[in-house]
Amino acid sequence: MAIENGNETKVGYRHKARVLGLLLVLLRLAALLATVTATIVMALNKQTKSITAAFVGTNPIIQTFTAKFQQTPAFVYFVIANAVASLYNLLVLLLRPFMKRKAHEIFEHLGGMVMVSVVASGAAAAAAMAELGKNGNLHARWNPICNRFDAFCCRGGVALIASFIGASLLMILNTVSTITLYKNVASQD
Partner 1 sequence: MAKASRACVFLLRLLAAAATVSAAVVMATSHESTTLFGLTLEAKFQYTPSFKFFVIANAIGCGYSLLVLLIPPTSSLSRFVVMLDVIIAMLLTAAISAAGAISEVGKKGNSHSGWLPICGQIPKFCDHVKGAMICAFCGVVIYLVILLHSIHTVIGPLLP
Residues interacting with partner 1, by CB under 8 A? Answer: 66-68, 71-74, 77, 102, 106, 109-110, 113, 116-117, 120-129, 131-133, 137, 139-143, 145, 167, 171, 174-175, 178-179, 181-182, 184-185, 188
Instruction: Pick the closer one to partner 1 by CB: 87 or 121.
Output: 121
Instruction: Pick the closer one to partner 1 by CB: 5 or 188.
Output: 188
Cα gap 117→119, rounded to integer Å = 6
Instruction: Pick the closer one to partner 1 by CB: 32 or 120.
Output: 120
The least CB distance from residue 53 to partner 1, in Å, is 15
The least CB distance from residue 42 to partner 1, in Å, is 14
Segment (H or E) for 51: strand 46-56
Q: Say which amino acid occupies 55.
A: F
Cα gap 180→171, rounded to integer Å = 14
Residue 79 φ/ψ, nearest 5 degrees = -65, -45
Instruction: Pick the closer one to partner 1 by CB: 11 or 114.
Output: 114
The least CB distance from residue 113 to partner 1, in Å, is 6
Taken as a whole, the chain contains a residue count of 189
DSSP character string of 129-163:
HHHHHHH-BGGGTB---TTT-HHHHHHHHHHHHHH
The least CB distance from residue 131 to partner 1, in Å, is 6
Instruction: Pick the closer one to partner 1 by CB: 90 or 106.
Output: 106
Radius of gyration of the chain (CA): 24
Is 75:69 a contact under the CB 8 Å cutoff?
yes
The least CB distance from residue 115 to partner 1, in Å, is 10
